[in-house]
Structure 1
């Protein structure tokens, strides 16, 4: 996927200007950034570091969650938020350790997960930066990419970093949220970090793959790690979940495709498929109608389900979903299917935003 398509995700959220303004410098060590995003920014600033278990922590806000793993000779970071958050990340890490940053792992190419890698690389020039081949390809497709965001090494399907109790396992199981999604397992902590294939406990955003692809990707992930005793599942944004939450998401992604296929074949509108999903009590957490903390620029889990059904309809009909459909534009009726109800994916009202959960 071209970088401009990736960046379009953040145009919708009002974030692209910040990314473009801060992601171009390649000079010496960057200055301490002006503090948190400006008033009215769609992103909350980084919050105080949160202990998850053992030697594993997370930092919420300023973009995706940053996972912090403290080891005997240094710190592993997974994802570095939007540009301009490097100092904030380091300030939080320094609350728990003075050890150097030795490795950065990037779960995918989007700037709210890779944006402050350059800052940390300036502080630690020998830092190891690891990502999948697909993530490197997407980053490098941007002709203005900052070279300091690019990896020192890549992997294809699976990579082991370290050994013994400090072993980290990386998995890439296919195209889904992006073309290079990485899942990070910390075996000693029985912990899996999902990136944006699981974020805010809702159906994933599908700018790169599609409804069928994300269902297959999550099923392959569950199969790949099911024997590792995973108990803690950290979402790419938002919360700490668990193994039951991950398997529920995997079941939901497949059920969404199946319900969409059945509705499409009957000639029903896309909303009928979502109504079918709502009849399954297992899926209620994934069909919530609240705006989630940190996603005030986005929409509800229920709206995301409608978006993904619309994407599935375009797949069945051989049409191109495009960024608009994946991000909430109504699905137009064609000679192959009925269109969607614009209300199903309409932007949240001011009242919904004012009632956002966990504020």
Structure 2
């Protein structure tokens, strides 16, 4: 009897969690922004999606969460009657790869850095796993333009990729850019503050003042905002490094609001990563 009662409690707990999660996604709307004659940005819940449409089919960057796939496909159907042919993942996190299985089951080819495949192999269905991988860079000819895909090392994770649409002048940064907010640096997945800064510098090498930049999270961006983000990273790193050199502990740094005040006042800590977490993460990264 006690076992039955415990089983029922566990069932209802998981049932309620499932219902609440689905309810959250039911309220999500997919926003579409046109960036060129055939490139679009989709915003929903999770990482921003890039879309290329044309006679070659639909090419998308990242897939958000699995429950959102029907809404994402509905939004894409308004842009093209072609099927999703290729999916590129910017890294392995679930808010960017959750829909992989749905699209893989529908026949899409999934592409990502080799470290993304390794990490997804540990937790994902076969159809969600990239079937084409690369180490350094890859070029795709799609919908009358070359898409340059290049790996940036140990930034947000160890498998980050940026994608640049060479004719449309659109850069998708994945989570190596959180527009106007502190980024998530996943140290446990190989991320680092130094790699993150180098990734932004790499991205800046391919953009100009007219480039439309799709960040992993946040609003559509541009070179000026990208430079502001880089300045934030370098400023916070320098401030934390000075504290480390002065013998301050991780807890002392994480509690020192003066280190990030300039950007806290601009709202950078009002999102997924708050200012305390940012200071602690930078400390941990520099001490590793």
TM-score (norm 1): 0.66
Bigger drift between 261-270 and 184-193 goes to 261-270
Residue 211, structure 1, aligned to residue 197, structure 2? no
**Greater fraction strand:** 2
Question: Residue 148 of structure 2 aligns with which residue?
Answer: 169
Question: Residue 337 of structure 1 aligns with which residue?
Answer: none
Confirm or deny: 8 A CA contact 1:58 1:65 kept in the other structure.
Answer: yes
Q: For structure 2, which runs of at least 5 residues remain unmatched after alignment?
A: 1-13
Output aligned runs, 1:94-243, within 5 Å: 94-123=77-106, 125=107, 127-142=108-123, 145-162=124-141, 165-208=144-187, 209-223=191-205, 225-226=206-207, 231-243=211-223
Residue 60, structure 1, aligned to residue 39, structure 2? no
Across the aligned residues of Structure 1 and Structure 2, the Cα RMSD in angstroms comes to 3.0
Confirm or deny: 8 A CA contact 1:44 1:62 kept in the other structure.
Answer: no
Confirm or deny: 8 A CA contact 1:194 1:233 kept in the other structure.
Answer: yes
Confirm or deny: 8 A CA contact 2:140 2:146 kept in the other structure.
Answer: yes
Confirm or deny: 8 A CA contact 2:61 2:87 kept in the other structure.
Answer: yes
Bigger drift between 52-61 and 309-318 goes to 309-318
Find the residue that maps to 1:162 and give its secondary structure: strand
Please report how far the alpha carbon of residue 56 of structure 1 lies from its aligned counterpart in structure 2 after TM superposition. Answer: 1.2
Please give the alpha-carbon distance, in whole angstroms, between the structure 2 residues aligned to 1:256 and 1:117: 35
The one-character-per-residue Cα deviations of 1:139-177 (angstroms, maximum 9, x if unpaired) are 1133xx211111120111111100794211111111121
Please report how far the alpha carbon of residue 278 of structure 1 lies from its aligned counterpart in structure 2 after TM superposition. Answer: 3.7
Confirm or deny: 8 A CA contact 1:173 1:221 kept in the other structure.
Answer: no
Bigger drift between 306-315 and 88-97 goes to 306-315
Please give the alpha-carbon distance, in whole angstroms, between the structure 2 residues aligned to 1:165 and 1:251: 35
The one-character-per-residue Cα deviations of 1:32-72 (angstroms, maximum 9, x if unpaired) are xx9x9534x38952424222332111221132222111122
Question: Residue 264 of structure 1 aligns with which residue?
Answer: 244
Please give the alpha-carbon distance, in whole angstroms, between the structure 2 residues aligned to 1:230 and 1:134: 32
Confirm or deny: 8 A CA contact 1:103 1:129 kept in the other structure.
Answer: yes
Confirm or deny: 8 A CA contact 1:190 1:229 kept in the other structure.
Answer: no
Residue 252, structure 1, aligned to residue 232, structure 2? yes
Find the residue that maps to 1:198 and give its secondary structure: strand
Please report how far the alpha carbon of residue 229 of structure 1 lies from its aligned counterpart in structure 2 after TM superposition. Answer: 6.8
The one-character-per-residue Cα deviations of 1:239-263 (angstroms, maximum 9, x if unpaired) are 1010111122222212221111112
Distance 1:289 1:138, change over 3 A: closer
Residue 309, structure 1, aligned to residue 285, structure 2? no
Bigger drift between 213-222 and 152-161 goes to 213-222
Please report how far the alpha carbon of residue 178 of structure 1 lies from its aligned counterpart in structure 2 after TM superposition. Answer: 1.5
Find the residue that maps to 2:22 and give its secondary structure: coil
Distance 1:43 1:256, change over 3 A: farther
Q: For structure 1, which runs of at least 5 residues remain unmatched after alignment?
A: 1-16, 22-33, 293-297, 319-359
Please give the alpha-carbon distance, in whole angstroms, between the structure 2 residues aligned to 1:140 and 1:148: 10
Please report how far the alpha carbon of residue 94 of structure 1 lies from its aligned counterpart in structure 2 after TM superposition. Answer: 0.7
